[in-house]
Structure 1
Amino acid sequence: MQLAIVPCIFIIVGVIILLKERRSFFGGMSFAFGGLFLTLILLMMGLIKLGEISATSSTLVILIVYALFPLIFLGICAFFIFNTHTMQTKEGRSVTAKLSALLGVNLLITIPLFFYLLSVGTHHISVWLFSFLMFVLLSDLLFSFLFTCYLFYSWMYQMIPSKKKVDYIITLGSGIRSEEVPPLLKSRLDKAIEYYHKNPNAKIVVSGGQGADEPVSEAFAMKKYLLSQQIPEAQILVEDQSTTTFENMTFSKKIIFDDWKIKDHTPTVLFSTNNYHVLRGALYARKAHLKAEGIGAPTALYFLPTALIREYIALLTQYKWFTVSMILICLISVIWSVLPI
């Protein structure tokens, strides 16, 4: 039970931070890490207790550990690998389309190799090579586990729907190829329209500039779609200069507060994007000092793995201190446990 103290500390720290600010990356990851780590510990303890009950229970534990778990692991890897084929079929070949397969192959190699090295130790290779390989594999496994934590935090963040009266709904733009909005952007606009009908006095801010390969600004195409859905033009505000999510939030904030008439009262703001992008959007809104919660539009299942991996990589890049800290923890762990001090 002493091992369970560590994840409980992470959970408590995460809860304290999230109660103060639910858009805290550190708070969310701390809570998710502690929760998932504690679940693994309890599962392990449960299997040990089950194995001690009887010979039949021991056989069941062996089947779970050596048959069921490996099958689940292989199934997950296979899903990620074959998902790339679906992505390339529907969205075309690109580097990002291969992210899903890279994750599947990575897990397929890293986890077995990690346990193999643990079993053979330094009997067949030098201590330095063993230490280097363990550092690389441990870092890989930690960031893979943190990806699971990120998925849990992202899901958890969206589980609390906004029921407040809404004054403004920012719709974040995405790439367009013509004046017509593509399915991904349409889903964001439809989610904004859904909340607009619940708050008919709200204004929708369409946010997105014009990329080098786009015929018009994303905001122009979004406004055109909203007008076709009988949204009054007076209820649409246009922000057509942004090129990043952070700029979406920063420029939209200025437009909102320039338009807001009740100066002694802060407007209630939502932003609409796809479900995989809600968490990062919320973190950028916090960075822009905009009090806004996200609402997520549904995304095709085949698109989700690649999109979520891309979001995770973007967050690791954004929070460099977090990434560096995790690498240092892996390095210290290897030095402490393997190398002679």
Structure 2
Amino acid sequence: MIAFVPAALFFLLFCASARADRRRFQNAVLLGLTLICASVGVLFLLPGLPSPLDTIAMLLVFLVPSLGTLALGVFLIGNGLTMVRKEGSSPANLLSLAAGVGILALIALVVTVTDRGSHLVDSLVAGLVLLAGYVAFLFVCFLAYAYLYGRITVRGNVDYVVVLGSGLTGGEHVPPLLASRLEKGRRIHAAQLARGGPAPLLLASGGQGPGERVAEARAMADWLIARGVAREHVRLEDRSRTTDENLRFSRELMREEKPGYRCVVVTNNFHAFRAAMTARRAGVNGQVLGSPTAAYFWPSATIREFVAVFWEHRVVNLSICAAIAALTAVVAVVAVTT
């Protein structure tokens, strides 16, 4: 059982960090390290396992991730083609397609190029695999913890339900993506009223973007009122242009009206964890809940969110990538000179 001590330590750190604040990215990394250390612990147990448990454990540790990576590449390419067909070929919509092609290309490179007698090529490919492995590790951490974070439910009463804007269609109409957020907020509002709690204020957050005839907050408020929400239960924050501004300006409004406020923030499920990290930085007193998103839209949107999180922590991430590149260069030089 000593082999599982590192996994247990990382798990305790994860629990402590998540208990302190569930909106930290370090929670995701600690969860990932817990899973990796647990897998290593399983490897140490393999020699002592009876058949067929040893074979099953070997498959779980090695074969399943390998086949899963291949299947993921194929899935992402298929999803990318669906995105292009339904949403167009904008750079954001090409993310899942590009990720799938990149995964399959790296697999093909490893299979066809390595073990050909060139130490230089082997060193360069190994460095590329390490870089991809680091990014993949962070992505899996992000994905796993985002899933856990998405299981959060509202406990007790809140003073505000903040719904983040996401752009209008035709300059004034609420699109399906935003309607999903508004419906989630409306249901939270209705549920609190149904259990006898005080009426929370629905705070529609979003300014007027380029090409929009009205502020997003105005269109969102009209959508809520048209579906039965009392006008006096709706507030508008109509200055923001970004998620960071959504949360900062909403915080200012809530603090001004009720200094000891408690809130929940509503966005789409793929955006919930990153919005939660932004809310933490903005000093918003509340968790972030996600509303449903069309299944075909989710992979590309999730990749986009991960890229944004990776860049938000670019000092650490780029430093590690640079260290891997430098180590690869040293190994390649040694390979050429020997």
**The residue matched to 2:118 in structure 1 has which SS?**
coil
Are the aligned partners of 2:207 and 2:217 in contact in 1 as well (CA < 8 Å)?
yes
Q: Of 152, 173, 176, which residue of structure 1 is paired with 2:144? A: 152
**Which residue matches 1:300?**
294
For 1:62 and 1:9, how far apart are their aligned partners in 2?
24
- Matching of residue 248 in structure 1 with residue 246 in structure 2: yes
In the alignment, residue 313 of structure 1 is paired with which amino acid? V
**Which residue matches 1:24?**
24
Percent of paired sites with the same residue:
30
Q: Deviations over 1:182-232 (max 9, x none)?
A: 110000000000100122310011001111132321111101101101111
In the alignment, residue 124 of structure 1 is paired with which amino acid? S
Q: Of 288, 311, 319, which residue of structure 1 is paired with 2:313? A: 319
Are the aligned partners of 1:269 and 1:293 in contact in 2 as well (CA < 8 Å)?
yes
**Which residue matches 2:70?**
74
Q: Of 152, 162, 184, which residue of structure 2 is paired with 1:191? A: 184
Report matched runs for 1:14-93 at 5 Å: 14-26=14-26, 28-41=27-40, 44=43, 53=51, 71-93=67-89
Are the aligned partners of 2:4 and 2:38 in contact in 1 as well (CA < 8 Å)?
no
How far 1:125 moved relative to its partner?
A: 3.9
Are the aligned partners of 2:206 and 2:240 in contact in 1 as well (CA < 8 Å)?
yes
Are the aligned partners of 1:171 and 1:206 in contact in 2 as well (CA < 8 Å)?
yes
Quickly say closer, same or farther: Cα 1:34–1:226, change in 2 above 3 A.
same
Q: Of 170, 173, 177, which residue of structure 2 is paired with 1:180? A: 173
Are the aligned partners of 1:207 and 1:248 in contact in 2 as well (CA < 8 Å)?
yes
How far 1:111 moved relative to its partner?
A: 4.0
For 1:23 and 1:64, how far apart are their aligned partners in 2?
30
For 2:130 and 2:309, how far apart are their aligned partners in 1?
20
Are the aligned partners of 1:169 and 1:270 in contact in 2 as well (CA < 8 Å)?
yes
In the alignment, residue 106 of structure 1 is paired with which amino acid? G
How far 1:251 moved relative to its partner?
A: 0.2
Gap regions ≥5 residues in structure 1:
none
For 2:62 and 2:272, how far apart are their aligned partners in 1?
38
How far 1:296 moved relative to its partner?
A: 0.8
**Which residue matches 2:196?**
none
In the alignment, residue 25 of structure 2 is paired with which amino acid? F
For 1:64 and 1:13, how far apart are their aligned partners in 2?
25
**The residue matched to 2:293 in structure 1 has which SS?**
coil
Are the aligned partners of 1:24 and 1:283 in contact in 2 as well (CA < 8 Å)?
yes
Q: Deviations over 1:65-92 (max 9, x none)?
A: 9976654433221110010111112212
In the alignment, residue 249 of structure 2 is paired with which amino acid? F
**The residue matched to 2:39 in structure 1 has which SS?**
helix
- TM-score, normalised on structure 1? 0.85
Are the aligned partners of 2:162 and 2:265 in contact in 1 as well (CA < 8 Å)?
yes
Quickly say closer, same or farther: Cα 1:300–1:40, change in 2 above 3 A.
farther
Are the aligned partners of 1:172 and 1:188 in contact in 2 as well (CA < 8 Å)?
yes
Q: Deviations over 1:58-115 (max 9, x none)?
A: 6x78988997665443322111001011111221221111110111121212245447
Are the aligned partners of 2:163 and 2:181 in contact in 1 as well (CA < 8 Å)?
yes
- Matching of residue 108 in structure 1 with residue 104 in structure 2: yes
Are the aligned partners of 2:208 and 2:214 in contact in 1 as well (CA < 8 Å)?
yes
Are the aligned partners of 2:161 and 2:266 in contact in 1 as well (CA < 8 Å)?
yes
Quickly say closer, same or farther: Cα 1:146–1:65, change in 2 above 3 A.
closer
Quickly say closer, same or farther: Cα 1:30–1:337, change in 2 above 3 A.
farther
How far 1:4 moved relative to its partner?
A: 4.5
**The residue matched to 1:223 in structure 2 has which SS?**
helix
Root-mean-square deviation over aligned CA pairs: 3.0
**The residue matched to 1:302 in structure 2 has which SS?**
coil
Quickly say closer, same or farther: Cα 1:11–1:337, change in 2 above 3 A.
farther
How far 1:137 moved relative to its partner?
A: 2.4
For 1:18 and 1:46, how far apart are their aligned partners in 2?
29
Gap regions ≥5 residues in structure 2:
194-198
For 1:320 and 1:40, how far apart are their aligned partners in 2?
28
Q: Deviations over 1:132-153 (max 9, x none)?
A: 4432321112101211110011
Quickly say closer, same or farther: Cα 1:283–1:204, change in 2 above 3 A.
same
In the alignment, residue 205 of structure 2 is paired with which amino acid? S
In the alignment, residue 239 of structure 1 is paired with which amino acid? E
